[in-house]
Amino acid sequence: MNEPFEPSRPEARITPRLVDALYTEAMVLADEARAYFDDVGKGERLLLEPFARVGFACESLKVTTRVMHIVAWLLTQRAIETGELHQVDGRRPERRLGHATTSEPQVIEQMPPAAQRLIHASSDLYARLQRLDEGQLDDEPVQSPARALMGRLERDLIWNRGA
């Protein structure tokens, strides 16, 4: 019996540069979400039907929850890279990406365009990190102390160059 062909997936390696880029993206998204839901979104919410207003409030909480799980996970990855946490500790359940509830398409389509964009952006970023997080569970060897030191040196060099 022939097995279906599955193209090999490129392994997602979590590097300091990747963590920094994702962290920047998450913080920009967090700031955009805060600005929208605290300011502009309040006015747009008032124009919605009562049921859609409830959905709007729920979606704003979902966006916030996703972003907070994302930031927490990225900070954990930074702690692993800097040696504050051991790689093995990063695989413990409490160090994994937290669960975030998905949004219902029929609720999203009732939202204003700016809210839809934020919902989709947070869902997309969360899904990307979820794939990275799940990739860490594969039977990868634990990073050697020498590689951890190289990661910390690379991170320090990048940070010092940008300052």
Domains in the chain, ordered, with CATH? 16-158 (1.10.8.930)
C-alpha–C-alpha distance, residues 78 and 20, integer Å = 8
pLDDT at 143: 58
Residues of the chain with pLDDT under 50: 1-11, 139
C-alpha–C-alpha distance, residues 118 and 146, integer Å = 40
**Structural tokens at position 1:** 């019996």
pLDDT at 22: 97
Q: What is the torsional sign of CA 78, 34, 131, 158? A: negative
Give the CB-side neighbour count of residue 127, counting CA atoms within 13 A.
8
Q: For residue 48, give the amino acid letter.
A: L
Closest alpha carbon to 108 in 122, 126, 129: 122
Closest alpha carbon to 102 in 131, 74, 122: 122
C-alpha–C-alpha distance, residues 113 and 128, integer Å = 22
Write down the pTM of the prediction: 0.74
